[in-house]
Amino acid sequence: EDYEIDENGYVAYCPCMGRFGNQADHFLGALSFSHALNRTLILPPWVEYRKGESKSIQIPFTKYFRVDSLEEFTKVIPMEDFMEHLSDKVWPAGRRVSFCYSERKKLDGTSSGSCNAKDGNPFFSFWDGFGIDFDKSEFFGPLLTYDVIHRGMDAIWNEKYSSKKWPVLAFTGAPAAFPVQAENVHLHKYLKWSNEIEEKVKKFIINLLPKGAFIGIHLRNGIDWIRACDHIKDVKQLFASAQCLGYSNEKGSLSMDICLPSQEQVIRKIKRIVKKFKETHKNNEIKSIFVASDNNHMIEYLNEHLRRMKIKAFRLPENNPHVDLAILGRANFFIGNCVSSFSAFVKRERDSRGFLSEFFGYPNE
């Protein structure tokens, strides 16, 4: 394969904040940013954390997503390909600058005088996995920000950092906002699951789910989540909550029903959706519930309460967040957790296909 150099330069970054849902929000912003600057986005591997391991691991972008669909929107290249085929020419060792808004302190709190891009986890593993060391730091703040949408920053970036002199803008974190800006949500349509994920989804739906329509639900209820929901009394928005409350709370306010619905609320919502679905889809009744969860799938509870409706609950036999997401994306109806960025991924994918979704506790009936 021929690897042509993009004379307009590249954008690289470490998805160093949060887990998959957070990284996906950031990815859409980074996509919009690099597009606005007319640079090629270097597709970073996804950063994952395994229980009991102190260092993150990096999963190639292409394991989960296709490259060709992203190319319909803008110029992209997987980081592995860039490093193997282009970095020596475009971004040789000795000339690698890391970009950050302002100084990043050392882990012990003392001044580093630099972006300190490789200090800590996942920072070190991410760059070091590609043998990348930084020779210099560049602070772009407070003059520049990532906001190319509201503040026309793209022109200022290109003026200040020409691609000739700065072929790669390598950011210590994503050049993007969290949660994803409203204007970038639609970019999700260019994110398509890889064949590997699609195959697993098809197998599960065909072999393990009963024939007929199914509701997908996301139950976010692990201990980290229970603790996070404690904060709802102190804030107007939490994580992805703008997806149902609106970015300025114009559609509602946070509540425990939204962040951490009780079992009773979960079952009530499901029953309501089943009935509603029946009225609008006469020949395609809900036959099962697919449950994705980080902790408690409530399978027995659901089965007990849905028995009279002849509906059964199912889950993946193994923990596989991406297959969970992709199945939720395909369900005939989705009920998500409005605060969770994991649910937000599903909601955006479904919106881009015109599929129906609601959230636990929202709308409040």
22 binds ligand GFB (CB under 6 A): yes
Give the interface segment with ligand GFB, choosing from 8-16, 277-285, 289-297, 354-362 (CB under 6 A): 289-297
Is residue 298 a contact partner of residue 263, using CB atoms and an 8 Å limit? Answer: yes
228 binds ligand GFB (CB under 6 A): yes
Q: Which residues contact 142 (CB under 8 A, 6 or more apart)?
A: 101, 102
Smallest gap from residue 167 Cβ to ligand GFB (A): 32
Is residue 347 a contact partner of residue 357, using CB atoms and an 8 Å limit? Answer: yes
The Cα 341–Cα 299 span in angstroms is 23
349 binds ligand GFB (CB under 6 A): no
Interface characters, 134-173, with ligand GFB (x: CB under 6 A): ----------------------------------------
3-class DSSP state of 299:
helix
By CB under 6 A, what part of segment 317-336 binds ligand GFB? 319-321, 324
93 vs 235, beta carbon nearer ligand GFB: 235
The Cα 258–Cα 239 span in angstroms is 12
225 binds ligand GFB (CB under 6 A): yes
Smallest gap from residue 345 Cβ to ligand GFB (A): 8
Is residue 42 a contact partner of residue 90, using CB atoms and an 8 Å limit? Answer: no
Q: Which residues contact 317 (CB under 8 A, 6 or more apart)?
A: none
Smallest gap from residue 6 Cβ to ligand GFB (A): 31
Q: By CB under 6 A, name the one of 200, 220, 348, 350 that touches ligand GFB.
A: 220
3-class DSSP state of 255:
coil
Q: By CB under 6 A, name the one of 56, 98, 341, 357 that touches ligand GFB.
A: 341
292 binds ligand GFB (CB under 6 A): yes
The token pair that represents 54 in the structure block:
């102190």
The Cα 208–Cα 50 span in angstroms is 27
56 binds ligand GFB (CB under 6 A): no
82 vs 290, beta carbon nearer ligand GFB: 290
Question: Which phi and psi angles does 20 have, rounded to 5°?
Answer: -55, -45
Is residue 306 a contact partner of residue 210, using CB atoms and an 8 Å limit? Answer: no
Residue number, nearest CB to ligand GFB: 21
Q: Applying CB under 6 A, which residues contact ligand GFB?
A: 18-22, 218, 220, 224-225, 228, 239-240, 292-294, 319-321, 324, 340-342
